[in-house]
């Protein structure tokens, strides 16, 4: 006796668990069952990547490790594709396996072949992407926003599809309102989701950036940031910060300056930041973890 499964929140496999979406299904006579889930061996050159794939960055080292595993053991989990035309296919999911198979020198890969229109394909790719364990919070937030905007879902419908509380989805979406440099810090792992959620509660963008720089410079805990954020909100409500207008305001970094930050981080192998004021002045912050780390940085500066 088969058990009917609820497809909501179970990822791509459950969303596709329908004979009507399977191009490999074959109608027999009326009333007879359909053949579902057939796997075909498809030439790699006949497959194109998914233009709706939310993830654009794949770690080279992880891909090489997966390629080595595939070389030795083959592909355990088939990729999923849709048929575009005669001997032409497009990935729905499994791009890491597909890329690793190319590195491993495979000529063909095992694949489930499905039918999906562009709208359904986008939804499938985004839901599958969200189910992964190694996404950073900004990637998750972007995927949630795309599902809401491009697939015309409400937050309530989305919460059902990905099996998350609506409040959790709201918290992720709020991350996209943070300044770009803070979003980049979340993606790079410089600050945690907990830090980010505390920063969101500060309405003033300049104060958000100031506190972010303090987190990096002083290695503040989430609790520290929550307390400081509460203090900033209280100060704002009481009108205590009367001298704000006379102080130079902080401004966001330009694209070139953000690139400089990334280059400096690569050189010093630490969380370098630039604090820039509207007057043109500013400072470069290079935090260190110990006396030995400070000596290492000084050596790199060659002073």
Q: What is the pLDDT of residue 174?
A: 92
**Tokens standing for 263?**
């280059």
What is the pTM (predicted TM-score) of this model? 0.47
Q: How many residues does this entry show for the chain?
A: 303
Q: Is 93 exposed, middle or buried (0-12, 13-18, 19+ CB in 10 A)?
A: buried
| 226 has catalytic annotation | no
- Rounded Cα distance between 67 and 103, Å, is 6
**Active-site annotation holder among 72, 95, 133, 277:** 95
- Rounded Cα distance between 231 and 211, Å, is 11
pLDDT tens digits in sequence order for the chain, 303 residues long: 444 333 333 444 444 444 444 444 444 333 333 223 467 899 999 999 877 665 656 778 888 888 998 888 888 778 888 888 777 888 887 888 899 999 999 999 988 887 766 677 777 777 777 776 677 888 888 888 878 876 778 888 888 888 889 999 999 999 988 888 898 889 888 999 999 999 998 888 888 989 999 998 888 899 999 888 888 866 665 554 454 455 556 677 777 777 788 888 888 888 888 887 777 788 888 888 888 878 888 878 875
Structural domains in the chain?
A: 12-26+35-118 (3.90.1530.30), 245-301 (no CATH)
Q: Is 122 exposed, middle or buried (0-12, 13-18, 19+ CB in 10 A)?
A: buried
What torsion do the CA atoms of 182, 183, 186, 192 make, to the nearest 10 degrees? 60
Q: What is the pLDDT of residue 100?
A: 92
Is 186:175 a contact under the CB 8 Å cutoff? yes
Find residue 82's DSSP bridge partners: 90, 114
- Rounded Cα distance between 163 and 156, Å, is 10
Closest CA to 134 of 92, 184, 189: 189
Closest CA to 113 of 96, 134, 146, 91: 91
Q: What is the pLDDT of residue 109?
A: 93
Q: What is the pLDDT of residue 271?
A: 80
Q: Identify the three-state secondary structure at position 113.
A: strand
- Rounded Cα distance between 180 and 257, Å, is 12
Q: What angle do CA 142, 255, 210 make, to 5 degrees?
A: 80
Is 174:222 a contact under the CB 8 Å cutoff? no
- Quick count: other Cβ atoms within 10 Å of Cβ 283? 11
Closest CA to 269 of 179, 188, 186: 188
Q: What is the pLDDT of residue 76?
A: 73
Phi/psi of residue 178, nearest 5 degrees: -75, 155
Q: Is 251 exposed, middle or buried (0-12, 13-18, 19+ CB in 10 A)?
A: middle
């Amino acid at each position: 006796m088969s058990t009917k499964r609820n497809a909501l929140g179970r990822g791509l496999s459950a969303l596709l668990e329908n004979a009507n979406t399977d191009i490999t299904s074959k109608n027999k006579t009326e009333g007879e069952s359909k053949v579902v889930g057939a796997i075909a061996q498809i030439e790699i050159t006949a497959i194109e990547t998914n233009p709706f794939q939310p993830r654009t960055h794949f770690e080279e080292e992880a891909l090489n490790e997966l390629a080595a595993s595939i070389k030795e053991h083959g592909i355990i989990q088939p990729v999923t594709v849709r048929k575009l035309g005669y001997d032409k296919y497009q990935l729905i999911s499994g791009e890491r396996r597909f890329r690793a198979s190319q590195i491993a020198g495979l000529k063909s890969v095992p694949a489930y072949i499905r039918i999906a229109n562009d709208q359904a394909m986008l939804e499938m790719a985004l839901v599958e992407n969200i189910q992964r364990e190694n996404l950073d919070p900004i990637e998750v937030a972007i995927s949630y926003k795309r599902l809401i905007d491009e697939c015309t879902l409400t937050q309530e419908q989305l919460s059902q599809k990905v099996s998350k509380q609506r409040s959790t989805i709201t918290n992720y979406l709020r991350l996209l309102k943070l300044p770009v440099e803070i979003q980049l810090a979340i993606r790079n792992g410089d600050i945690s989701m907990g830090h980010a959620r505390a920063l969101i509660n500060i309405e003033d963008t300049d104060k958000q950036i100031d506190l972010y720089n303090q987190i990096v410079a002083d290695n503040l805990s989430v609790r520290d940031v929550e307390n400081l954020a509460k203090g900033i909100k209280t100060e704002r409500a009481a009108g205590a910060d009367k001298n704000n207008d006379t102080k130079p305001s902080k401004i966001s970094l330009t694209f070139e300056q953000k690139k400089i930050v990334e280059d400096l981080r690569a050189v010093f192998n630490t969380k370098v930041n630039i604090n820039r004021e509207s007057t043109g002045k500013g400072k470069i912050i290079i935090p260190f973890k110990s006396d030995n780390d400070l000596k290492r940085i000084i050596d790199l500066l060659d002073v």
